[in-house]
Structure 1
């Protein structure tokens, strides 16, 4: 009977999560396609893509985190039936995201010359910088897209963003073929061609989702406002208090992998290329698991708005179970096909051999990776941000990365040592986050129970 209390939530969660998972998978597969196409140009170009993407993905995830402030607030307001409040959340989120996209681009523009001072191969940096600037400019239309995506996902409507994302990603892959290799009469632009394809496809995503939301009758009840009228400093502050810590949660995790890429560069071009292959494959499972995390955030937020704490706990733990099963499948896939998957990207024997070893470690940390990302999503639904942010900081930057450096260089374990450090950080994060969700939800349940008893005592006293 107790198990049925959890399994009854699976159907609703799957319907909510699978479009987000497919949308995220579409985004990742574009990255996979980019790397496969770029990998055909050689190890140096693939290493340049690794270096640039390690920086860009860090910035991208911070921006994504900022935009995600919209979803839990909309989910709670939707649970409470407050449509006017949802409209105000959208308005404030719109301007926060647009300004954030511009500031993040300017930040990377100023930061990019610093890649020359990270101890990376000169030929790799020369290829990486222009590509990095092109794809970073795509953050502006992407943050515009994220505003609408997070808004409609907060209303438990996830298929629309999925459809738009997958369609525009297909365009991205086609443009890669045209611009990287110089097909259909276009000049061969190499790595920069992949960057321009990304920028064009993200502009398309922004335009299409705007037209969809404006034309769809289901959103007219929310009176979406795009101007500065009635912008509230209090609302901006509240959203930033959710979005900025969420962004830093992503930064601390993704930053650990980006720093690992820089350490891989110290070991040479082949090590950096192998790292890019392994992390690109691992990102497929991670981003799909983040679809379950988005479902956890929305469903936990809804139950919190309805004050149904028992259902809130059941929802949370049912999704932890789902992600564990899901990630086990990828663990088996990575370990079983470790000698074959790298061949999709490159045929260099040294790179393939190193990537195969890293894929074994990637298989081992799949469970931890899935649990920790769902833990962050569930806690975000509870608006619990400060402690999870601290957890990610300590786990990755105090434990994982220093351990990886020590194992890689003083102990001579090189690539394997760096990835063992990442495995340790992910596992520590997963354990701490699932425990925190249990404690907070248990405390809320107890408080609700005590409140009900107090009301019952008051009724008895009146009698």
Structure 2
């Protein structure tokens, strides 16, 4: 990764960083998609059970991954400022930290998983599938967190193709493992939706093995001597990483948890068919969202790299390019989604009632995805500046003080019913996008003033 001057060169660099991230994110989500689709072929209870289990797991996963995302920001700014000698220690400390985070996740699951499921008043079969799906998935938590540290290490230097290769290699394993554990092929037990959890856990181990192998295989990576040269654990470094990572993780948690809470409210307030339809619509729209999410991740890298080199105008140009690009992509995708909504739903289930209701959810999703793309891109830019605390507060207010209450009120007290919950999501995401935009204007102005004061404003 190198500093460039012209807009054309910036676009080329951004695309070079972005496209492997897109392939990676779509491939990662494809694994979740395979879980949902294959479970749906077993039965509606399995589809709903995996939906509930995934909805409980995803906020935890994305929140912890957000904490570890601090590695990307730190590495990108170290590369931009020419301090590559500090990268190895930073990554090693993040590896230690990931073990600690995994321990707290195990502890939380041990004490809270059963009570949470019991409070949801789910059908017994759905509750059983959800619980054991998460038990199976838990065997992959440690390798998942370790692999994410290595991914952020690669991505922060602009080596996004390394992660892409690893994930693309892992996806076929996931498909085969799902085929085995869900339907009982290859001599494996037929576990239905529960099997998707075990298949995902084994896949996480495969991803970790590939990730570690790459640290020894690629010369430019091997020089860092990861897993060879071990630094002593440093509380000071952990504090620095957590000071950046926790606000990022909580921001992501608050965003992803609104979808989880909506799913839980669906299960508590409406029928299994409604839960299944909601999961179908959420699953596919989340797949489309992988594109603006990838843009957000690429923005963190290129903006962080530019800020590290005091190239503030470049950071602003990357920001505009990424945010408008993400919104534009989903605007085009909205047209496709509107005309093929029922055909898409049939990819998940043959239940006609589920298909019809999912089609209605898709129509509302067209609106909320535009706001989702905008807020994702803006957050990516802010993380590149290491500005994470105010965005965290903005996310908390937008999603939990505005979005969830509005959605519940619309669902419980208006004819919108379950669709009101999705309208609430739209309101929360729109408020977040507005808040992040205002914050970005402030951060960019301060960065320009600081660069001018230091006499190092390399605006090109």
Could you say which TM-score interval applies, normalised by the shorter chain?
Answer: over 0.9
Partner of 1:457: none
Asked if residue 58 in structure 1 is aligned to residue 95 in structure 2, the reply is: no
Partner of 2:156: 154
Query: SS of the counterpart of 2:358?
Result: helix
Partner of 2:76: 75
CA separation in 2, counterparts of 1:197 and 1:401? 33
Deviation of the 1:335 alpha carbon: 1.4
Asked if residue 177 in structure 1 is aligned to residue 179 in structure 2, the reply is: yes
**Per-residue Cα deviation, 1:375-422 (whole angstroms, up to 9, x for no partner):** 111111111111101111111101111000000011232111000000
Partner of 2:284: 281
Query: SS of the counterpart of 1:230?
Result: coil
Asked if residue 192 in structure 1 is aligned to residue 194 in structure 2, the reply is: yes
Matches within 5 A, 1:435-454: 435-452=438-455
Deviation of the 1:208 alpha carbon: 1.1
Partner of 1:313: 316
Matches within 5 A, 1:91-130: 91-114=92-115, 115-130=117-132
Residue of 367, 372, 376 corresponding to 1:373: 376
Partner of 1:406: 409
Alpha carbons of 1:225 and 1:175: their partners in 2 closer, same or farther (altered >3 Å)?
closer
- Worse-matched range after superposition: 161-170 or 282-291: 282-291
Partner of 1:337: 340
Q: Which runs of 4+ in 1 moved over 3 A?
A: 4-8, 225-230, 449-454
- Worse-matched range after superposition: 293-302 or 182-191: 182-191
Matches within 5 A, 1:235-314: 235-265=237-267, 266-314=269-317
Partner of 1:458: none
CA separation in 2, counterparts of 1:185 and 1:221? 43
Alpha carbons of 1:120 and 1:104: their partners in 2 closer, same or farther (altered >3 Å)?
same
- Worse-matched range after superposition: 322-331 or 149-158: 322-331
CA separation in 2, counterparts of 1:184 and 1:122? 29
**Per-residue Cα deviation, 1:175-230 (whole angstroms, up to 9, x for no partner):** 11122111233331111221111111110100111011122211233243677643
Deviation of the 1:446 alpha carbon: 3.3
**Per-residue Cα deviation, 1:145-174 (whole angstroms, up to 9, x for no partner):** 111110011111001111111211111011
- Worse-matched range after superposition: 441-450 or 421-430: 441-450
Contact 1:361–1:419 (Cα < 8 Å) also in 2: yes
Contact 1:9–1:318 (Cα < 8 Å) also in 2: no
Contact 2:53–2:134 (Cα < 8 Å) also in 1: yes
Contact 1:182–1:188 (Cα < 8 Å) also in 2: yes
Query: SS of the counterpart of 1:409?
Result: helix
Residue of 403, 416, 419 corresponding to 2:419: 416
- Worse-matched range after superposition: 364-373 or 197-206: 364-373
Deviation of the 1:98 alpha carbon: 2.0
Q: If the length of structure 2 is used for normalisation, what is the TM-score?
A: 0.94
Deviation of the 1:287 alpha carbon: 2.3
Partner of 1:85: 86
Alpha carbons of 1:432 and 1:8: their partners in 2 closer, same or farther (altered >3 Å)?
farther
- Worse-matched range after superposition: 103-112 or 226-235: 226-235
Query: SS of the counterpart of 1:63?
Result: helix
Deviation of the 1:444 alpha carbon: 1.6
Partner of 1:46: 47
Larger Rg: 1
Deviation of the 1:79 alpha carbon: 0.9
Query: SS of the counterpart of 2:305?
Result: helix
**Per-residue Cα deviation, 1:88-116 (whole angstroms, up to 9, x for no partner):** 11111111112212321231232211111
Contact 2:292–2:327 (Cα < 8 Å) also in 1: no
Partner of 2:436: 433
Alpha carbons of 1:5 and 1:364: their partners in 2 closer, same or farther (altered >3 Å)?
farther
**Per-residue Cα deviation, 1:254-300 (whole angstroms, up to 9, x for no partner):** 11110000111121101111111011011112223221111110111
Deviation of the 1:119 alpha carbon: 2.6
CA separation in 2, counterparts of 1:282 and 1:412? 24
Q: How many residue pairs align between the two structures?
A: 451
Query: SS of the counterpart of 1:222?
Result: coil
Alpha carbons of 1:159 and 1:16: their partners in 2 closer, same or farther (altered >3 Å)?
same
Contact 1:66–1:240 (Cα < 8 Å) also in 2: yes
Alpha carbons of 1:287 and 1:197: their partners in 2 closer, same or farther (altered >3 Å)?
same
Q: Which runs of 5+ in 1 are unaligned?
A: 455-463
Contact 2:92–2:231 (Cα < 8 Å) also in 1: no
